Amino acid sequence: MMRCIMFGLGPAELIIIAVIILLLFGAKRLPEIGKGLGGAVREVKKMKKEISTKDDNDEQSGKGSSPKEEASSSLESKVVDKVLDQVPGVKKAVDIKKKAKKVKEFLE
């Protein structure tokens, strides 16, 4: 039996996961979700390349590399913004979470 190298999932498990995703999101929304996730992955790769190029340029100019925490936080915020813009439903979920947090704070 052939196993998926990354997670140890076989064909049966992958089919079950695909059916669950299909039931959750519906056939009409799957292409736009895939497109949004693909765009987010492209943006992450692009930002990673930009950051590595920037670090290489800094090292060559003698400035030294910038702190990794700063780079990761800016990368994280850019990725979050792109995902919110490109993946349908995520922005709505984040808005609902923020509203729930405000209600919880109000009740306390």
pLDDT tens digit string along 49-70?
Answer: 887 777 677 666 655 445 555 5
Residue 6 lies in a domain: no
For residue 107, the SS3 value is: helix
Most confident of the following: 33-42, 63-72, 75-84: 33-42
Question: Under 8 Å CB-to-CB from 61, ≥6 apart: which residues?
Answer: none
pLDDT tens digit string along 91-106?
Answer: 777 788 888 889 888 8
Show the domain range for 16.
Answer: 11-87
Residue 35 lies in a domain: yes
- Do residues 39 and 82 lie in contact, with contact meaning Cβ atoms separated by under 8 Å? yes
Residue 49 lies in a domain: yes
pLDDT the model gives residue 1: 45
- The count of domains in the chain is 1
Model confidence at 72, in pLDDT bands (50, 70, 90)?
low
pLDDT the model gives residue 26: 85
